[in-house]
């Protein structure tokens, strides 16, 4: 098997020069030498050893996208349309920069620590973090990290957030403006200090603004999957007191609409539904889903830029980035007046 030393000898250059080309540090090498070395690499089908590279540099050039699994969160990381779009933009960007992507759901702090050390991860992008032991382990690992959709108190942490409370407020206010007064809130478990709590606060703020008392019986929590959404939809079909539903994710809203349909309840004629995310599912439901838009791809690009700047020791002007939301009107809401 050909080695860096063999390629360097044939090209008449140092091993360091060949290494710069292999690891995409081509700005340090003349264009003529780059072409010469790449020609040899292609002819010999040379591929760098990741394990050797990891040992030599004490890191693997692997960036991990980590989701913290909790007892209330047991679904697939990439099965969520939002996460799929987010991860796609991260992978494309880090691949361009010569890094590799690991996607992993982790159950506890010990597993995260072991994962980081075993793979010598260069950096972490973590979604949905809370102010707990898991986050404390993350911050103590000593490697760069970026938090996504995480409301933790750490002035040194780089975060990419969303106007979550505003989104919940806009969605609920839209239903109220259309004449709805009995509005359900559907989401996964509402954990203090998380994204869902922010959207729930927005829901309650809109009700309060319209003078509508908060009713706990109109709050429904379950996993964010289509099947769980369908179960909830069948349940909500029997709630004749409810005319509007705000679901905290489009995948949940799509499931609710399917469950309602199974019970002969039509959207929007019988019940109106608003989602959150504006992913591809919003345009596949019948009718198409009115929802709160967020830019998952932009979120991924910004997160990757932040982790790359940390790895390169470049200055970061803004550590906390909050992306905007807005309502996209489609056909799932019917005005009552």
Spell out the residues 6+ positions from residue 154 whose beta carbon is closer than 8 angstroms to its own.
135, 139
Per-residue confidence (pLDDT) for residue 190, from 0 to 100 = 94
Q: Which stretch of 25-29, 88-92, 206-210, 291-295 has the lowest confidence by average pLDDT?
A: 25-29
Is 241 buried (19+), middle (13-18) or exposed (0-12) by CB count in 10 A?
exposed
Peptide bond into 104 cis (omega under 30): no
pLDDT digits (tens, 9 = 90+) for 262-289: 999 999 999 999 999 999 999 999 999 9
Residue 74's pLDDT band (cuts 50, 70, 90)? very low
Pairing of the two strands 326-328 and 290-293: antiparallel
114-148 burial string, b = 16+ CB within 10 Å, else e? ebbeebbbbbbbbbbbbeeebbebbeebebbbbbb
Helix 81-96, helix 250-262: angle, nearest 10 = 150
Distance CA 266, CA 66 (A): 39
Which domains, from first to last, does the chain contain?
A: 4-48 (no CATH), 62-162+297-323 (3.40.50.2300), 164-294 (3.40.50.2300)
Q: Could you tell me if 18 and 11 are in contact, meaning their C-beta atoms sit under 8 angstroms apart?
A: yes
pLDDT digits (tens, 9 = 90+) for 153-171: 888 899 999 999 999 999 9
Residue 68's pLDDT band (cuts 50, 70, 90)? confident
Spell out the residues 6+ positions from residue 164 whose beta carbon is closer than 8 angstroms to its own.
149, 195, 198, 199, 202, 325
Mean pLDDT on 101-112: 89
Residue 50's pLDDT band (cuts 50, 70, 90)? low
DSSP string, 89-133: HHHHHHHHTT-EEEEEEE-SHHHHHHHHHHHT-SEEEEES--SSH
3-state secondary structure of 59: coil
Residue 240's pLDDT band (cuts 50, 70, 90)? very high
pLDDT digits (tens, 9 = 90+) for 1-15: 788 888 889 899 988
């Amino acid at each position: 098997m050909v080695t860096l030393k063999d390629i360097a000898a044939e090209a008449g250059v140092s091993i360091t020069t060949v290494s710069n080309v292999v690891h995409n540090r081509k700005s340090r090498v003349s264009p003529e030498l780059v072409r010469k070395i790449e020609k040899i690499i292609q002819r010999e089908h040379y591929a760098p050893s990741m394990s050797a590279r990891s040992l030599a540099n004490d890191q693997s050039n692997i960036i991990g996208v980590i989701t913290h699994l909790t007892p209330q969160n047991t679904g697939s990381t990439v099965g969520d349309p939002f996460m799929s779009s987010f991860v796609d933009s991260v992978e494309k960007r880090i691949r361009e920069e010569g890094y590799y992507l690991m996607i992993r759901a982790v159950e506890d702090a010990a597993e995260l620590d072991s994962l980081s050390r075993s793979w010598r991860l260069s950096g972490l992008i973590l979604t949905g973090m809370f102010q707990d032991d898991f986050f404390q382990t993350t911050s103590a690992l000593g490697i760069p990290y970026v938090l996504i959709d995480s409301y933790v108190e750490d002035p040194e942490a780089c975060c990419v957030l969303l106007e979550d409370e505003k989104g919940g407020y806009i969605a609920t206010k839209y239903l109220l403006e259309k004449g709805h007064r009995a509005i359900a809130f559907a989401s996964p478990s509402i954990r203090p200090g998380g994204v869902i709590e922010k959207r729930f606060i927005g829901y309650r703020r809109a009700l309060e603004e319209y003078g509508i008392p908060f009713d706990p019986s109109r709050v429904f929590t379950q996993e964010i999957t289509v099947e769980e959404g369908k179960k909830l939809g069948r349940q909500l079909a029997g709630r004749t007191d409810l005319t509007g539903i705000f679901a905290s994710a489009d995948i949940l809203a799509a499931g609710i609409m399917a469950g309602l349909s199974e019970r002969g309840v039509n959207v929007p004629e019988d019940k109106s539904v608003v989602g959150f995310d504006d992913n591809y599912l919003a345009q596949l439901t019948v009718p198409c889903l009115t929802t709160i838009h967020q830019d998952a791809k932009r979120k991924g690009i910004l997160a990757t830029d932040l982790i790359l700047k940390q790895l390169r020791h470049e200055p970061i002007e803004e550590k906390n980035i909050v992306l905007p939301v807005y309502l996209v009107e489609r056909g799932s809401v019917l005005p009552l007046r």
